[in-house]
């Protein structure tokens, strides 16, 4: 409850309690002082009454003595003193009458009446005696003043005075004791209230300053210091206070939350900036790639850096085909096939990005066979033609945001252009290095291959020059189209027989050249004989008509056994001419020609 109260409320309550305790203490001090005053008044009254009673007894004794001396001696001085004492007694009686009206008990009032009656009786006897003495009856006056009656009255008066004094003393002592007890009681209460007020003040001072102010301020100071050092992970304790300290804690919490939000935004901004920098670097390198292998390497290296939560494939469409194959992958994707047709992907069918999810609302692509991840397919297009697919695979909890999808599509657009450029470049290179009719490497490619062989003089090289026998006969009888079909037919057989052993070139016209790196004389001869037999034995038809058998003549040269690499082509051509002169449909090695 105390933690919910504001410091101002606690201070006001403590102030109010202190005022109440102070008021109570002041009241008890006033009551104690009043009791002490009553005690003093009681003592004073007691002393006054006691003095008056004693004085009354003395005056009564003195008047009786003066009256007796007068009747015995006849001295007028004694008579004068008697009347002086008589006046004084009248004054004392008046004072006693006044005191008898102030705070005396009924018994004491009765005792005062008896004293006055006794005093009046004594006074009458004494005055009668004085009158008798002055009338000449001295004996009568003396008998009256010294009689038993006068003695009894006088003794009774003194006794009554003493009784009054005793009664007043007892009553005054009770009043004094009661007043003193009340004074002590209220004094004790007043002192207790002062002590309680002091303890209350100290307790409030300790609670407010030490527990409610000092300790929270120390904690807040540490928190503020760490926040000033941008350590926003510091914990701001919320103790549920609703006072000024609680408001400061709340303000610090808001500052910490704002700092965390700024830090998060800065982190996202830095992440976004780094992503853009990496994307720019990737785009620059993608545009600089010279073949698809380099493109695959660039994409596989940069995509995990740009999107660390996504795995993926770079699929490329085979040229003049409908099948896609994985050119490269990153971060170990597992959900998609490595080879599939265009019809297996909804993104390629629609020409737009397609998202496949386990519990998604849309259909799943057929090339995805594990439905435990979120899969995004983005077509790679260039000038409206599909050249490939950018496939991204993420966990369901790491679902790509809308901004990430925009970045994906931007990268896919650049990668698609790069794939199209590489394919176009590859076609241009193919057109520059290959023969358009047969698809074989052309004369320019042959020259480049020979130049490379010149740089590797230590490696053996076999060369076979080939010429189609009586080729002009096909052109003359069946037309140039038939001649083209014959050349394509021969080129196909040459590629099948040579395979991986070497390269096949169209030298020009109906002549072909084969380079066999690392081949010996025997290897070259075996290849030449195989070629001759394969061409001769394979039937050829053109437009449903079976053509005459096709034969070839071959010339063989090797290097370095047969001569330098620089002359291998010339020597093979010379051997070819020799084979044609010797009847065609045969092969001749250059060394045999030289020996002949």
Residue 318: left if φ>0, alpha if ψ -120 to 50, beta else—which one?
beta
CA-CA distances (angstroms) from residue 407 to 295, 313, 384?
Answer: 18, 16, 20
**108 in catalytic set:** no
Three-class secondary structure of residue 329 per DSSP: strand
Q: How many CB atoms lie within 10 A of CB 210?
A: 10
Alpha-carbon span 218 to 224, nearest angstrom: 10
Please tell me the distance from the alpha carbon of residue 137 to that of residue 241, in angstroms, as a whole number: 109
d(CA 43, CA 39): 6
Residue 365 contacts residue 324 (beta carbons within 8 Å): no
Are the C-beta atoms of 469 and 418 separated by less than 8 Å?
Answer: no
Asked if 488 contacts 476 with a C-beta cutoff of 8 angstroms, the reply is no
Write a three-state SS string for 427-486: HHHHHHHECCCCCCECHHHHHHHHHHHHHCCCCCEEEEEEEECCHHHHHHHHCHHHHHHH
Select which of 108, 126, 393, 510 is catalytic: 510
Helix (H) or strand (E) holding 191: helix 148-205
Tokens matching residue 404: 């990430």
Residues in the chain: 596
Q: Is the peptide bond before 560 cis (omega within 30 degrees of 0)?
A: yes
Give CA–CA dist 461/195, Å, rounded: 120
Phi-psi region of 28 (alpha: psi -120 to 50; beta: other; left: phi over 0): alpha
- Just list the catalytic residues: 510
């Amino acid at each position: 409850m105390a933690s919910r109260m504001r410091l101002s409320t606690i201070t006001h309550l403590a102030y109010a309690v202190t005022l109440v305790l102070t008021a109570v203490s002041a009241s008890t001090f006033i009551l104690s002082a009043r009791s002490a005053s009553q005690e003093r008044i009681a003592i004073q009254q007691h002393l006054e009454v006691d003095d008056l009673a004693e004085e009354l007894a003395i005056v009564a004794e003195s008047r009786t003595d003066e009256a007796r001396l007068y009747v015995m001696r006849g001295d007028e001085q004694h008579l004068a003193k008697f009347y002086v004492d008589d006046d004084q007694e009248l004054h004392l009686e008046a004072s006693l009458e006044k005191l008898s009206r102030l705070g005396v008990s009924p018994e004491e009032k009765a005792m005062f009446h008896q004293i006055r009656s006794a005093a009046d009786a004594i006074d009458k006897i004494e005055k009668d005696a004085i009158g008798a003495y002055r009338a000449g009856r001295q004996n009568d006056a003396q008998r009256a003043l010294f009689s038993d009656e006068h003695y009894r009255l006088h003794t009774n008066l003194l006794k009554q005075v003493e009784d009054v004094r005793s009664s007043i003393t007892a009553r005054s002592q009770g009043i004094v004791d009661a007043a003193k007890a009340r004074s002590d009681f209220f004094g004790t209460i007043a002192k207790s209230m002062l002590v309680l007020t002091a303890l209350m003040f100290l307790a409030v001072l300790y609670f407010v300053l030490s527990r409610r102010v000092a300790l929270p301020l120390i904690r807040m100071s540490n928190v503020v210091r760490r926040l000033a050092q941008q350590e926003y992970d510091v914990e701001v304790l919320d103790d549920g206070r609703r006072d000024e300290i609680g408001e400061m804690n709340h303000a610090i919490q808001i500052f910490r939350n704002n700092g965390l939000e700024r830090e998060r935004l800065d982190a996202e901004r830095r992440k976004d900036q780094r992503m853009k920098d990496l994307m720019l670097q990737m785009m620059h390198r993608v545009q600089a790639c010279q073949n698809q292998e380099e493109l695959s390497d660039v994409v596989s290296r940069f995509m995990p850096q740009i999107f660390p939560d996504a795995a993926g494939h770079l699929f490329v469409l085979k040229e003049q085909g409908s099948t896609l194959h994985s050119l490269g992958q990153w971060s170990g994707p597992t959900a998609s096939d490595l080879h599939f047709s265009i019809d297996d992907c909804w993104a390629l069918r629609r020409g737009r990005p397609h998202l496949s999810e386990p519990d998604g609302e849309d259909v799943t692509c057929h090339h995805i066979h594990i439905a435990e991840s979120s899969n995004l397919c983005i077509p790679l297009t260039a000038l409206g033609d599909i050249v490939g697919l950018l496939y991204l695979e993420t966990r369901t909890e790491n679902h790509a945001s809308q901004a990430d999808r925009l970045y994906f599509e931007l990268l896919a657009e650049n990668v698609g252009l790069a794939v199209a450029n590489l394919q176009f470049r590859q076609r241009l290179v193919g057109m520059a290095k290959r023969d358009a009719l047969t698809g074989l490497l052309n004369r320019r490619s042959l020259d480049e291959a020979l130049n490379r062989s010149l740089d590797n003089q230590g490696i053996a090289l076999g060369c076979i020059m080939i010429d189609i026998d009586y080729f002009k006969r096909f052109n003359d009888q069946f037309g140039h189209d038939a001649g083209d079909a014959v050349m394509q037919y021969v080129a196909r057989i040459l590629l099948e027989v040579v395979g991986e052993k070497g390269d096949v070139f169209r030298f020009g016209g109906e002549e072909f050249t084969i380079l066999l790196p690392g081949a010996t004389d025997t290897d070259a001869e075996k290849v030449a004989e195989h070629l001759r037999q394969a061409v001769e034995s394979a039937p050829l038809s053109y437009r449903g008509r079976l053509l005459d058998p096709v034969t070839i003549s071959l010339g063989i040269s090797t290097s370095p056994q047969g001569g330098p690499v620089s002359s291998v082509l010339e020597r093979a051509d010379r051997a070819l001419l020799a084979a044609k002169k010797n009847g065609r449909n045969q092969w001749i090695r250059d060394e045999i020609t030289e020996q002949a």
